[in-house]
Chain A
């Protein structure tokens, strides 16, 4: 209830109710995998991530990360994992990132020389250097995110939980964070679990995706087969040498677009090769292009529909 009356009512009569953020989700991730979590805002991705790092206690069910029960937050477990949240920062705002690095190093019990070595190594990988001695508040968002990644990875964690690590970054900065993560994964064999709203992150990094919708898992598998199951057809664009009539193409697939020399068709995947060869024999074709419908669009539709075909 909005307005002043609503405010008063909310002050005196506060109702609490249980919300099931995540139900019936189970999956297994092996060491070294990069897995992307997909879902609309409020689908339960972050809740899931927080349960896996032990911040939220599941009311029912079992979570096991590297043989630990995360909610107990044992020291040995905490040294294995790290959490990076694109929205929240852990660097000390008024000081250079370098100061925060050494505080964290002390907390994790790293000796100064170890910390220094590690900082240099990660700074090289992230292509950041001189910025680390400037106060955090004077850094750009991209530089800050790199520093956040650095501070989160100081203790050589083997499992990385990344909650929208590229949020708000420009295209180049996003690409650099992505290439860093993939390099880090190859170099150290660390497991990476990430959520992102940018499909580019997911397509570039995650061979495997887990889709969450309204707290339920509805897809777990590789990205390509998700795309296949989401859209059983591919788009075929043809440029003809001579103009043809529209009805000649009806039998090949669903016509998306037509103007006498350019035709765009939706062709089902299993008939694709057959239809292409037919097209090539029956028409005089200058150019031919086969493409997948953009994945973001598919995922977007998926979230609205809420199911996989």
Chain B
């Protein structure tokens, strides 16, 4: 286990060093990130001036969802996108060979190799919005609601990761699957708004088929103290199923790996 922690530490410190290697690029990345932040703050301000109700959510509680969304988007930019979109390249160029011959779990390697620090401010902003907005709604935090919140965030992240990884793993057969991951990002964007803001059919789909509700709505409900415990358990089960599925699928995919020519 210690070996895995040490590996992550070295992965991320080298990732940081690689990003610093190109000063201008890093500065532009910081600027781009600042732009994204301003953009999301602007969208939020539109919410404030609206004054309408979204589903059965007040503006303040809808803002919590925005916070969760921003947090997940930051995590996506920091971890999921740099790593999972890279799998396609590993397959296409055949450098996956090197990964598969390391005495370390290949899914672990491919999932945490990189870390983009440009995602960090979004993560911090997201969390700040969550806490600020939930204070505005007048709800008070308890150790209980905080831990349920953390667990449900974790559930949401695992689901997003697993679905994304499943798609990326299919590149073993289809080689290029970048477009599919874009669909996934659109799906995450659907989580910007409370599930109850959608028509009933979409609500059903977003909860059970494409579990968007677990990404943003449920964690927001958790911090607001509204999350039903059975949903949390269902989420734990669903995320475990997705995660196990992603591992099984990866093992299955590797049996079909043919490697690229030398």
Residues of A with Cβ closer than 8 Å to B?
A: 46, 50, 53-57, 73, 75, 78-79, 81-83, 85-90, 92, 94-95, 99-100, 102-104, 106-109, 135, 163-164
Contacts and interface: CB of A to CB of B under 8 A. Distances in A.
Interface of B: 3, 6-7, 9-11, 14, 17-18, 21-22, 93-95, 97-98, 100-104, 109, 255, 257-259, 261-262
B97 A83 contact: yes
B261 A46 contact: yes
A100 B255 CA distance: 28
Nearest to B8: A106
Given A94-B18, A104-B102, 6 more contacts: A55-B259, A56-B259, A95-B17, A99-B17, A103-B7, A106-B10
B14 A57 contact: no
A55 B93 contact: no
A103 B109 CA distance: 11
Contacts of B255: 57
Nearest to A112: B6
A199 B3 CA distance: 42
Contact of B21 (A57, A78, A95): A95
Contact of A90 (B7, B18, B21, B98): B98
A83 B101 CA distance: 8
Nearest to B98: A90
B100 A73 contact: yes
Contact of B257 (A46, A55, A103, A106): A55
Q: Across chains A and B, which 5 residue pairs bring their CB atoms closest together, nearest first? A: A78-B103, A75-B103, A90-B98, A94-B21, A94-B18
A55 B95 CA distance: 11
Nearest to A108: B103
B105 to A, nearest CB: 10
B101 A78 contact: yes
Given A46-B262, A56-B258, A88 B94 contact: yes
Contacts of B17: 94-95, 99
B103 A99 contact: no
Contacts of B259: 50, 55-56
10 contacts: A46-B261, A54-B100, A55-B100, A78-B101, A92-B18, A103-B11, A106-B9, A107-B103, A109-B103, A135-B21
A95 B261 CA distance: 26
Contact of B10 (A53, A85, A102): A102
A42 B109 CA distance: 31
